[in-house]
């Protein structure tokens, strides 16, 4: 089978990674790297390549050998670029966030569905071996009911002119949440607070409480102000608890054997209750083996497969839209002093139904 012709758009921070992994994917054939700054595109391609650089998006879209584009430009440009690609009949892979607005995102999801094209969001983390395993553990019932989620993502991030920490970092946590939760669990509402202790003019620290349809709270802490990096997610279940420490290569995932038991009311004295607090944990811990695979290569393989098999990708436009809807609601909550703001349900089925 012929490889699928691909163009990468954007030679900035993430573009080079798309270029590299596309070239390592046999089912894809990279045709172009497009950037307004053609020189930068040439530099990214390097002196040994047969791939062409161009400053013209038009040229890319007009190339009949290009079946798909991968867009890694600033978020503000996504809507126009994705729309143009879909209208030119190209499949699209786009960086997060899908667009800066839920309405625009929905329009793109709609457009892709209407044209029968693949619209895929590069929610890279969903393709890591750790997140795949988490999803498998939750969907397979090994965790039991999810009782709480606590996600911390703190970094040293330079303050940006157009994006706050919510839109910069939280898409990672929210797209992971969207990906691993059971299909019948939806996000109902979100409350968010943040602060800007360095007077940067935008949030540099934010806390989100995401209310799930099961009544469970998932909490996300994103933070630009720390010289040390922390990336830990704890998912507590009725049967087991998962601790994911993404910066610990020798124990990225640990599954703790038992959740909490309810002691019959009144049967325990002050003493016994605290005994439990003293023990470090009650059951064995399993550290599952994870394959060493690069997530972005899996993204590329999934893009190719979705196109070939004419099926929705694992992280389609609908997932991107759900994340954007959540971020919009979080923005509103911050503006309203931390109030709980409902999130519009965006199920894959809705989008599908519309075009049935």
- 242 or 325: whose CB is closer to a second copy? 242
Give the nearest distance from C-beta 45 to a second copy in angstroms: 9
Q: Which is nearer to a second copy, 72 or 119 (CB)?
A: 72
Which helix (DSSP H) or strand (DSSP E) does residue 69 occupy? strand 68-71
Closest CA to 152 of 138, 126, 170, 167: 170
CB of 139 or CB of 281, closer to a second copy = 281
Question: Closest separation between CB of residue 86 and a second copy, Å?
Answer: 24
Distance CA 328, CA 130 (A): 28
Measured from the CB atom, the residue of 116 and 283 that comes closer to a second copy is 283
343: left (phi over 0), alpha (psi -120 to 50) or beta: beta
Residue identified by tokens 């349809």 is: 213
CB of 112 to a second copy, least distance (A): 25
CB atoms within 10 A of CB 269: 9
Minimum distance of a second copy from residue 296's CB (angstroms): 14
Measured from the CB atom, is 275 or 354 closer to a second copy? 275
User: 299 in the Ramachandran plot: left (φ > 0), alpha (ψ -120 to 50) or beta?
Assistant: alpha
Of the two residues 84 and 234, which places its CB atom closer to a second copy in the complex? 234
DSSP category for residue 283: S
Minimum distance, C-beta of residue 294 to a second copy, in the bound complex (Å): 13
**171: three-class secondary structure by DSSP:** helix
Which DSSP state fits 14?
Answer: S
CB of 324 to a second copy, least distance (A): 19
Closest approach of a second copy to the CB of residue 238, in Å: 7
Query: Which residues are within 8 A (CB) of 177 and not within 5 positions of it... i.e. 6 or more apart?
Result: 149, 151, 187, 210, 218, 220
Q: How far apart are CA 108 and CA 94, in angstroms?
A: 11
**In terms of DSSP bridges, do strands 68-71 and 4-9 run parallel, antiparallel, or are they unpaired?**
parallel
Pick 105 or 223: Cβ nearer a second copy? 223
Residues 234 and 147: their CA atoms lie apart, in Å, by 10
């Amino acid at each position: 089978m012929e490889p699928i012709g691909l163009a990468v758009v954007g030679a900035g921070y993430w573009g080079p990674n798309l270029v590299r992994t596309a070239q390592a994917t046999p089912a894809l054939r990279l045709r172009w790297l497009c950037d307004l700054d053609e020189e930068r595109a040439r530099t990214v391609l390097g002196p040994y390549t047969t791939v062409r650089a161009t400053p013209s998006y038009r040229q890319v879209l007009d190339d009949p050998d290009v079946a798909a584009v991968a867009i890694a430009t600033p978020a503000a440009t996504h809507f126009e670029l994705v729309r143009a690609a879909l209208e030119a009949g190209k499949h699209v892979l786009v960086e997060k966030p899908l667009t800066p607005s839920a309405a625009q995102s929905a329009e793109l999801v709609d457009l892709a569905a209407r044209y029968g094209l693949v619209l895929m969001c590069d929610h890279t983390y969903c393709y890591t071996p750790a997140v795949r395993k988490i999803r498998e553990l939750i969907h397979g019932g090994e965790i039991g009911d999810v009782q709480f989620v606590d996600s911390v993502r703190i970094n040293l991030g330079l303050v940006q002119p157009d994006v706050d920490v919510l839109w910069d970092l939280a898409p990672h946590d929210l797209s992971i949440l969207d990906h691993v939760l059971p299909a019948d669990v939806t996000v109902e509402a979100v409350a968010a607070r943040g602060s800007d202790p360095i007077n940067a003019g935008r949030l540099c620290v934010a806390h989100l409480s995401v209310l799930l349809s099961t009544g469970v709270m998932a909490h996300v802490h994103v933070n630009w102000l720390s010289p040390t990096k922390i990336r830990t997610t704890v998912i507590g279940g009725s049967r087991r608890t998962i601790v994911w420490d993404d910066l610990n290569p020798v124990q990225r995932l640990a599954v703790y054997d038992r959740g909490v038991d309810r002691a019959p009311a009144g049967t325990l004295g002050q003493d016994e209750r605290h005994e439990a607090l003293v023990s470090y944990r009650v059951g064995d811990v399993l550290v599952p083996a994870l394959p060493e695979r690069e997530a972005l290569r899996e993204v590329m393989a999934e893009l190719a497969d979705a196109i070939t098999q004419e099926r929705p990708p694992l992280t389609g436009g609908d997932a991107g839209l759900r994340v954007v809807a959540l971020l919009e609601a979080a923005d509103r909550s911050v503006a309203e002093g931390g109030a709980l703001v409902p999130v519009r349900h965006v199920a894959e089925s809705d989008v599908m139904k519309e075009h049935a």
